[in-house]
Structure 1
Amino acid sequence: MRKTGLFFGSFNPIHVGHLILANAMVQSGEVDEVWFVVSPQNPFKKRSSLLHEFDRLDMVNAAIQNNFNFKASDIEFRMPKPSYTVDTLVYLSEKNPMHNFKLIVGEDNLAGFKKWKNHEVILNDYGLLVYPRPKSKPSDLKDHPHVKLIEAPMVDISATYIRNAIKENKDIRYLVPEGVRELITSKHFYQD
């Protein structure tokens, strides 16, 4: 069985913080690989602020192209919208029986995790790998037997900050991988 961490996100755009956290997950030994699941529509976010899903997928592929422990997934592009994590987990498990999937989430998601659709199924059938986030609210889920806190750098880079920097014509080097920066520049992403 291959231990696979699923890192869901809009990746609007993917940035070095995402990559640092995914690498920490692999280095922890809890997973062999991380799949970046590009979400077409997060039920908690407004759709209008999202770059087209295929453009975001292209940026993820550009970011991870040299790391064989990382994979980009567009599975949610073909699923009913809005997409719910539990539905994607069940679908991926059915299609990939040789993978043992774990859900990667930020510590800031724990406080509201019980509001997620079928959160008990996610906890009991898959489990959570949790990375530290600044200003996270306390949660009793930290003590759940299927929740594992992973030591990782406290990365506080936001895609919103990057998008705003682009609009203000600021340099985003070092915030995103070079291949992502080249795509953003050549396709004029986030400039209007």
Structure 2
Amino acid sequence: MKKVGIIGGTFDPPHFGHLLIAQEVLEQCSLDEVWFMPSHIPPHKQRDDLTSDEERKEMVQRAIHDNEQFRLCDIELKRNGPSYTIDTIKLLKKEHPNIRFYFIIGGDMIDYLPKWVGIKELIEMITFIGVKRPGYPSQSPYKGKVVEVNVPQLDISSSFIRNRVAQRKNIRYMLPEPVRLFLMERGLYAKKQGVRNR
């Protein structure tokens, strides 16, 4: 059975931290592919300046275009309302009955799994892969359902990049060059702060 990892998020923008996590999990967990799944309206992140679905989709495509084991999964962008993982997984399993899905989360999120919508059902449908972070020991009650992996740490976040752009600071080498060129051409992040890109 094909093994596919899913890494979700706003990807606003996608950066090398996302790609490193995906590649390390792919190899360490012997997955066949990793699908990048931009969320439409993430339940835990309510930002009114979220970049459009189409722009985030384009940035993900540009970020992963040179890795044949990475795919874009836009299932959540096609739905209305908040993107709950339980609903997404049900749809994916219905559409791909011969795929075993793994859901990749940050190590600091492992302890919050009991608060996820539909977690009791979800934990029986998929395996979670928790990316361990130094200083965040896991106390998850789902020990047998969560695989923890160690990944080299890159101290980069999407919000950090957005702030750098707004301040007209360099973001080169923080994200793939095709993504950087796209967001600069579109004036993303800077225009929301009333600042023009150079």
TM interval, shorter chain, is over 0.9
Distance 1:15 1:186 in 2: 17
The one-character-per-residue Cα deviations of 1:21-71 (angstroms, maximum 9, x if unpaired) are: 000011113411100000011111113131011100100000000101100
1:129 aligns with 2:139: no
Tell me the residue number matched to 1:149. 148
Tell me the residue number matched to 1:180. 179
Match of 1:128, SS state, is strand
The one-character-per-residue Cα deviations of 1:102-137 (angstroms, maximum 9, x if unpaired) are: 110011111211111011222222010111235536
TM norm structure 2: 0.91
Match of 2:120, SS state, is helix
Distance 2:138 2:103 in 1: 19
Deviation at 1:139, TM superposition (A): 1.8
1:158 aligns with 2:160: no
Tell me the residue number matched to 1:15. 15
Identity of aligned residues (%): 34
Distance 2:36 2:174 in 1: 18
Unaligned ranges ≥5, structure 2: 192-198
Distance 2:85 2:50 in 1: 18
Deviation at 1:79, TM superposition (A): 2.0
Q: Which runs of 4+ in 1 moved over 6 A?
A: none
Contact 1:4 1:32 in 2 (8 A): yes
Contact 1:40 1:76 in 2 (8 A): yes
Distance 1:151 1:158 in 2: 18
Identify which range, 173-182 or 115-124, moves more after superposition: 115-124
Match of 1:78, SS state, is coil
Distance 1:138 1:29 in 2: 19
Distance 2:111 2:188 in 1: 33
TM norm structure 1: 0.94
Unaligned ranges ≥5, structure 1: none
- Number of residue-to-residue matches in the alignment: 191
User: RMSD over aligned Cα, in angstroms?
Assistant: 1.4
Contact 1:111 1:137 in 2 (8 A): no
Distance 1:129 1:30 in 2: 12
Written as runs of structure 1 = structure 2, the 5 A alignment for 1:1-192 is 1-136=1-136, 138-141=138-141, 144-192=143-191
